[in-house]
Amino acid sequence: MATKSTASAAKKTTKKSAKPAKNLLIVESPAKAKTIQKYLGYKYEVLSSKGHIRDLPASRLGVDIEHDFTPEYIVPRKDGKSALLKELQAAAKNSRAVYLATDPDREGEAIAWHLAEMLHLDEQAPIRVTFNEITKRAVNEGIATPRTIDKDLVNAQQTRRILDRIVGYKLSPFLWHKVKRGLSAGRVQSVATRLVVDREKEIEAFIPQEYWNIDAWFHNNPKKYAARLVGDANGKLTVTTKEQADRILSDLKGAEYKVTNIKRQEKQKNPHPPFTTSALQQDASVHLNMHPQKTMSVAQSLYEGVDVAGHGLVGLITYMRTDSLRVSAEAQAAAKDYILDIYGENYYPRVPRVFKAKRSAQDAHEAIRPTDIRLTPNAIRNSLSNDQYRLYKLIWERFTASQMAAAVYDVRNVEIGAVGYMFRASDTKLRFDGFTKLYHYADDEEKSVLPELDQGQILPFDTLTAEQKFTQPPSRYTEASLIKALEENGIGRPSTYAPIIGTIIERNYVEREGKTLKPTVLGNVTTELMIESFRDIVDVNFTAHMETQLDKVEEGQTTSLSVLKSFYEDFEKDLQKAEQTTERRKVELPVEESDVVCEHCGRNMVYKISRYGRFLACPGYPECKNTKPVYTEAPGNCPKCGGKLVVKWTQTGKTYYACADNVNCKFMTWDIPQKESCPKCGGTLFRKFGKVYCLKEGCGYVGEAPKGRKEKNAE
């Protein structure tokens, strides 16, 4: 007979073994995992793959060209991927069902496929879950309607990855041999660099053309207003010399100025559509002075979830990598209710707005919008960092305005005649503000400068002015205008715009000068060589054609193998010819000295360029071979070893923080280090979801983050 304690233990064991297994949901990001876990509750375990679980090897080509371009995938040793994979495999083995909820795009689909392979899941089973926004409704709907992995999407991602790997690994050694060791080439980065190089050549070759503006000024006590000369008896008139301007001024001496025509019209101005990825990056660059990589990092945090006071973890915006302008019926209805409640029925259009995207747009996702329009920027400001608040405000206002009524203007164009010459003046008065009550564009201001005028009226002349002008060269690209050019030319896709620009700057092909981009000596020489030997690689139309081919792979209209074979056949011929015929270019790059002292020999280290970007090297090479990576320093110190913290970025532009001594210390975190020290132990505090906490072993301090603080990540 069992004792009472034995029976009790047996009862506990039976109860424990009867505990039902949970469902496992795997996402890409730890932050997203935490938000989704809140929505799904105890029946699900939500884990993160932390991006790609496997990839092509970094040290070799990793593509078997002779056997149908078969990729060789490995689980990287760095970043703890092997240990993470074991953790995911163990969790999958002990789960009732496994679902893969990586991002809803090509890259996310490929990560899901890699996970399915490594976790030995049935790819034909409905294991793939997607949602365009991380809200409780969207997550539950996604879980309720799983699908199989879309192999066409996976094939499109693999094709792009293999193309980029072939170009990078085949061209980089060629550039080392012909230009400078350490250089790299990329299929899309090379054509982006060429755009910047070609624009600089246009600027250098530009010849200014002289022209003159002639204005007639009239009294409107106590102010004055002007009308510009636009024509004469022969029609439109352009004044190109001082002699011509002086002759016209002489003709008009003592002339009478009469209103010959007044044209009045109503002009409606419709709001812009909600943001696509490229439009968001452009506006954030122009209005918020945010680099594209920073924009995408902040947008990612808003998408994955923020701890909002009174609401808990909330995904605040829809998926931020999209070129679609579609808005769901539910979001339109919510916007209508909000606009009617706050602004009244005059501010809502008679018919809900539908925006047409360009033909090449992928319509899998909606445009970028707030997940809940009632969560206004001001209402949740104290729960957001300064950058999150500014970007969320931009997104929220743009979307809300896009659903509002048009602004209405009264436009008046006045023509004024004088001895056979024609002058024109115009003004604009706002009759109904419409969407501009919320969201203003640069050209929304009223231009009401003219008094009431009647046809035939003789005007009170004051003076004539003639101003010499010269035509201006095209402007250098900014990050915003380069993104626009990439999109307009069909180069890259929403997920690649920020990494493209980051890469060409990091690898010193292009540099920032103020807000503009200009090519470096290295960028000019490399582009010249590429045009000479690999014209297709740096050809805008060819690159756009390759993007179209990748889209066709995604749509199942062509195969990955046919695209790769077609590309490689010509590429290999060009490479062989270039190796034999291209002469070596000697590039003298300016040496940029740093203030970092080499700890081995005491010299000031200098900046060098490798295929991975800038690094610090000792100028005493080869006697001293000391090198260091170049990173932006972050506030505080590493909680593990006490070393400096630095800012790093993932390939998709997401910001994270790591120990500068990445050889001996593997500390990293997604959470933002603070300038303030821990009040308990003096260590560095980190901020996450409105809390600050200390990571120093044995401390455990957690506190509230300061409300409404202006907090900026390093860029």
User: Which residues participate in catalysis according to the annotation?
Assistant: 319
**Distance separating alpha carbons of residues 382 and 384, to the nearest angstrom:** 6
Q: Assess whether the previous peptide bond of 377 is cis (omega < 30° from 0).
A: no
Angle ∠(248,254,259) on CA atoms, nearest 5: 85
Cα distances (Å, whole numbers) of residue 323 to 367, 493, 494, 522 = 7, 8, 6, 33
Q: Assess whether the previous peptide bond of 622 is cis (omega < 30° from 0).
A: yes
3-state secondary structure labels for all residues of 658-679: EECCCCCCCCEECCEEEEEECC
Q: How much of the chain is in helix, strand and coil states, percent to nearest 5?
A: 35, 25, 40
**Distance separating alpha carbons of residues 523 and 80, to the nearest angstrom:** 36
- On whether the CB atoms of residues 404 and 348 are closer than 8 A, the answer is yes
For 644, phi then psi, to 5°, come to -75, 150
Buried b (16+ CB within 10 A) or exposed e, 521-540: ebbbbbbebbbebbebbbbb
**Distance separating alpha carbons of residues 664 and 77, to the nearest angstrom:** 15
Listing DSSP states for 344-394 in one string gives -GGGS-SS---PPPPTT---SS--B-BS-TTS-TTTTGGGS-HHHHHHHHH
**Distance separating alpha carbons of residues 652 and 299, to the nearest angstrom:** 12
Q: In 3-state terms, what secondary structure has residue 520? A: coil
Tokens read off for 8: 């009790």
Tokens read off for 147: 């699908």
**Distance separating alpha carbons of residues 171 and 264, to the nearest angstrom:** 61
- The torsion angle over the Cα atoms of residues 531, 534, 538 and 541, rounded to 10 degrees, is 110
Residue 307's Cα: distance from chain center in Å? 24
